[in-house]
Amino acid sequence: MGSKPAKPVAKATTAPRARTTKPDVRPEPPSGAKRVEGRIPDDGRIADLEAAVAALTQRVAALEGVRSHGANGSGTRTGDEAIRAAVLAAVGELDLRHRYGGLVPIPDVRAELRRTGVATDDAAVTAALEALERAWKIDLSVAQSPTQVPDRGAGIERPGRGLLYYVARR
C-alpha cells in the first residue's frame, strides 16, 4: 500500500566534549596595588581599618558607660541597677552550680539573693526581672504545668501569659 519510506537516521558524528577546567579566577587588586605571592600587599589600608575599629570600640564603650551609669554620669549604681546586676549574677551562678541547662527557677533566684545578702523584697526582684526582660538581657519562661511546680507563689502570675516561673539568660 502507500507506506512512506523511512527517513534515514543520521549517526552522531560529533566527538565527545572534552572537559575544560575553570580558569583561576581571583579578584584583581585595586588600582595601583600589585599581587605578591598570591596576596595583596598592605598599603596602609589595614592600619586605617584597625584605627577605625579602635575608634568605634572606644565610642561603644563610652556609650555603654553612659547607659550603665545613668544620665548623671556618676559611677555609682542606683538601687535598681544593683538589684538587676545581682539578679543576673545569681542566675548565672545557679545555672552553673546546679546545671539547670539555662532555665533557672525564679524561686531559686529569690533564695540565692537572700543567701548572698541582697536585702530586697520580692516585689523589687519581680520588677528587676521584668526590667531585665524588657532590656533583652533575660527571658522569662512560663511553667508548662503550673499546678505541678513546687512553689507557685514565688513565680510571677501574668494574665495572658501564665505563670512565669523560669529565667533564661540571653
Please check whether residue 136 is in contact with residue 170, taking contact to mean a CB–CB distance below 8 angstroms: yes
Distance between CA 162 and CA 143 in Å, rounded?
Answer: 8
pLDDT, mean over the chain? 80
Residue type, 38: G
Domain containing residue 127: CATH number: 1.10.10
Which of these, 94, 97, 119, lies nearest to 169 by C-alpha position?
A: 94
Does residue 32 sit within a domain? no
103-157 tens-digit pLDDT:
999 999 999 999 988 888 999 999 999 999 999 999 999 999 988 999 888 999 9
Q: What is the pLDDT of residue 132?
A: 95
Name beta bridge partners: 105: 166
Q: What is the pLDDT of residue 59?
A: 80
Does residue 83 sit within a domain? yes
Which band of pLDDT confidence, cut at 50, 70 and 90, is reported for residue 44? confident
59-106 tens-digit pLDDT:
877 776 655 544 444 444 568 888 999 999 999 999 999 999 999 999
Does residue 85 sit within a domain? yes
Q: Report how many domains make up the chain.
A: 1
pTM of the model: 0.54
Residue 91, domain extent = 78-169
Q: What is the pLDDT of residue 34?
A: 59
Distance between CA 5 and CA 9 in Å, rounded?
Answer: 12
> What sections of 39-105 are H helices per DSSP?
45-69, 79-98
Does residue 65 sit within a domain? no
Does residue 143 sit within a domain? yes
Q: What is the pLDDT of residue 75?
A: 46
Does residue 89 sit within a domain? yes
Does residue 72 sit within a domain? no
